[in-house]
């Protein structure tokens, strides 16, 4: 059985970022499909209240947010430049802007009746209604503000012009081989060109050739898995040994970790490690026993659990 289990849904752009990276590395994986919006009953025992997709699982360790998932892929594949920690400040700055401001502009620019029709064909009318209602509510409570529908295409156009320039003398954005920046740029433009069927990228020949190279990586060897089978993997495993933790007055105590941008639903558990880039919470569930949930420090907040 593959080491990594990806909890995802087909039209999730951030899940596509991970799937494409798995294709590039050739790592095998299992995939558990979940609804595009909560409730995700098969994911709750593993990741608690965390509401974003994708989530990755390795045994009894659960990784939330693509920053931590790509860190694990970089470790498993021996390719450090697939994680932010393995890249320089220029790449990190590019990824920070592309994963938030540019990504949101891509989603807004891709919105169209064609996209809704494709989404409806892959799910159902009720799912589409629930998804739209969920995303509207999430947008109302988000602390980040996306570009307006009028401004979003300009943000995407500037991004495409930047990529076209970067690709003038090299096949990938920062050199001869892809790094995390390529996959961060890919998933937003994948949503525009592949998921929505938009021609917004059409005038940019180098970008389209680069997208074809990224698409050619595919998703790697993978197999579907049922949610309860993923539970069994966690139940039969023990969380891996933790590295030495930083000091924290909250170690060993009940805490919550909450995204600070959008999807602001706290994950509860016992803090068992505070690391340079992440917090680790121990969680118990009758169906699976003990799991360790890994959440990033950047863009998340830690607080004592309310009594």
Q: How far is CA 220 from CA 28, 31, 103, 149, 187, in A?
A: 6, 12, 24, 35, 16
b (16+ CB within 10 A) / e for 123-159: beeebbebbeebeeebeeebeeebbeeeebeebbbeb
Per-residue pLDDT in tens (0 to 9) along the chain, 307 residues: 568 999 999 888 999 999 999 999 999 999 999 988 888 999 999 999 998 999 999 999 999 999 999 999 999 999 999 999 999 999 999 999 999 899 888 888 877 656 555 654 666 555 544 544 544 454 455 556 667 778 889 999 999 999 999 999 999 999 999 999 999 999 999 989 988 888 999 999 999 999 999 999 999 999 999 999 999 999 999 999 999 999 999 999 999 999 887 667 899 999 999 999 999 999 999 999 999 999 999 999 999 998 6
Domain with CATH 1.20.1050.10 in the chain: 87-216
Rounded CA-CA distance 72/11 in Å is 22
Domain with CATH 3.40.30.110 in the chain: 4-79+222-304
**Class of the domain covering 4-79+222-304:** alpha beta
Of 266, 253, 252, 255, the C-alpha closest to 300 is: 266
pLDDT reported for residue 37: 83
CATH topology of domain 87-216: Glutathione S-transferase Yfyf (Class Pi); Chain A, domain 2 (1.20.1050)
Of 186, 226, 191, the C-alpha closest to 210 is: 186
Tokens of 216: 């050619």
pLDDT reported for residue 25: 98
Per-residue 3-state assignment (H helix, E strand, C coil) for 190-248 = HHHHHHCCCCCCCCCHHHHHHHHHHHHCCCCCEEECCHHHHHHHHHCCCCCCCCCCCCC
DSSP SS3 for 184: helix
pLDDT reported for residue 55: 98
Task: Report pTM.
Answer: 0.90
pLDDT reported for residue 3: 87
pLDDT reported for residue 61: 98
Tens of pLDDT along 72-82? 999 999 999 99
């Amino acid at each position: 059985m593959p080491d990594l289990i990806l909890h995802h849904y087909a039209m999730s752009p951030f899940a596509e970022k991970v799937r494409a990276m798995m294709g590039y590395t050739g790592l095998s994986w299992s995939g558990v499909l979940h609804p595009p919006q909560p409730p995700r009953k098969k994911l709750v025992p593993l990741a608690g209240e965390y509401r974003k997709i994708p989530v990755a699982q390795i045994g009894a360790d659960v990784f939330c947010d693509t920053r931590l998932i790509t860190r694990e892929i970089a470790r498993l594949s021996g390719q450090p430049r697939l994680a932010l920690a393995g890249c320089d400040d220029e790449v990190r700055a590019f990824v920070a802007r592309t994963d938030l401001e540019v990504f949101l502009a891509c989603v807004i620019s891709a919105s169209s009746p064609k996209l809704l029709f494709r989404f409806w064909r892959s799910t159902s009318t009720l799912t589409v209604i629930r998804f739209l209602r969920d995303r509207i509510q999430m947008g109302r409570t988000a602390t980040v503000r996306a570009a307006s529908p009028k401004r979003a295409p300009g943000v995407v156009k500037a991004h495409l012009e930047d990529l076209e320039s970067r690709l003038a003398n090299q096949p990938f954005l920062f050199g001869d081989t892809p790094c995390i920046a390529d996959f961060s740029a890919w998933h937003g433009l994948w949503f525009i060109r592949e998921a929505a069927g938009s021609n917004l990228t059409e005038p940019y020949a180098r970008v389209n050739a680069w997208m074809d190279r990224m698409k050619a990586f595919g998703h790697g060897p993978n197999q579907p898995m049922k949610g309860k089978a993923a539970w069994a993997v966690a139940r039969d495993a023990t969380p891996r040994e933790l590295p030495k933790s930083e000091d924290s007055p909250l170690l060993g105590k009940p805490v919550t970790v909450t995204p600070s941008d959008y999807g602001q639903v706290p994950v509860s558990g016992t803090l068992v490690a505070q690391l340079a880039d992440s917090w680790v919470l121990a969680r118990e569930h009758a169906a699976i026993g003990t799991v360790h949930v890994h959440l990033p420090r950047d863009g998340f907040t830690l607080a004592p659990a309310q009594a």
